[in-house]
Amino acid sequence: MAVRAAVAGASGYAGGEVLRLLLAHPEVEIGALTGNSNAGQRLGTLQPHLLPLADRVLQETTADVLAGHDVVFLALPHGQSAAVAEQLGPDVLVVDMGADFRLEDAADWEKFYGSAHAGTWPYGLPELPGARARLTGTRRIAVPGCYPTAVTLALFPAYVAGIAENEAVIVAASGTSGAGKAPKPNLLGSEVMGSMSPYGVGGGHRHTPEIVQNLSAAAGARVSVSFTPTLAPMPRGILATCSAKAKPGVTAESVRAAYEKALADEPFVHLLPEGQWPATASVYGSNAVQVQVVLDESVGRIIAISAIDNLAKGTAGGAVQSMNIALGLPEELGLSTIGVAP
């Protein structure tokens, strides 16, 4: 019996990507598609790459429309998921690709988002210790942010192993799709092609508290995070360059061992052979994560770098992976580790 899935917010980038993945999922049947400002339009106009769904027409995002599905993916502006989820009832699997239920600390939420905290749902990063158990059988999933996915997968092995000091410095480059499909002057092709630029510098990016939360959980102690995101001239991909001082006595071998231990059995996270470095092109369109780590002995820092596709593993792929676990399906079902390159 197929899993029937609805997507709210199907005209945006996250919604389009989850549809792309669900179309390839052998156990999923695509149900209602909604999008408020675009309700009534053909998907073929809004998402011309999804040819099998070209003649589907978007509906309004209402509880009536979303009712009667096994899974509902929410790709809504932040602050809107709670109301929708409530109306869907406790038996429907609600997978929120927005930020609303990621943070555990209400004060963090209020500081970074400026509204009341809606709550905390099981966090959809299966690779974290204990995460798979928390996701199994759940009917509510908070999909991680794209930067936190890339950064956490690069650094959690070091914090779990206790080899890194609790101050991380992170500089990440993201493709422009991470900024969404709403047209803004600074996101025009004319502006972004040929340009690198930072934003949200100095701790202001909303993904900072989520990164802190993840790394602190791995370390068992508060990890401070200096996080600088930059906008790169590419549609997709995140390259996260992360570092922290190594604890006394840590060696290149112990660093490697920590990462091998943490990542050995992960189906999607690949620790590259020594000497090979991640590239976002290699994971384009896939759920794979490339990770490499090195100890820079001249400065005593562990440098861990990851590459993901921000829309795939960083959003919709992570969502489908967690859905598989929640529903008791094989975790890799419908997901690929093969990038579209060159």
Give the residue numbers annotated as catalytic, written as ranges: 146
Q: What is the CA radius of gyration of the chain?
A: 19
140-142 and 93-96 strand pairing: parallel
Residue closer to its own copies, measured from CB, 119 or 235: 235
Helix (H) or strand (E) holding 148: helix 146-160
**Shortest Cβ 229–its own copies spacing (Å):** 10
Nearer to its own copies, 222 or 261 (CB): 222
Token pair recorded at residue 302: 């562990």
The residues, ordered by sequence, that sit 6+ positions from 45 with a Cβ below 8 Å of its Cβ are none
How far is it, in rounded angstroms, from Cα 260 to Cα 154? 12
In the complex with its own copies, the residue whose CB is nearer, 82 or 281, is 281
Q: How far is the CB of 335 from its own copies (least distance, A)?
A: 12
CB of 164 or CB of 225, closer to its own copies:
225
Minimum CB distance to its own copies, residue 4 (Å): 20
CB of 304 to its own copies, least distance (A): 10
Phi-psi region of 86 (alpha: psi -120 to 50; beta: other; left: phi over 0): alpha
What b/e string do you get for 127-152 counting C-beta neighbours within 10 Å, with b at 16 or more? bbeebeebbeebbbbbbbbbbbbbbb
Nearer to its own copies, 160 or 295 (CB): 295
216/160 Cα distance (integer angstroms): 10
Minimum CB distance to its own copies, residue 277 (Å) = 5
Category of 68 on φ-ψ map: left (φ > 0), alpha (ψ -120 to 50) or beta: left
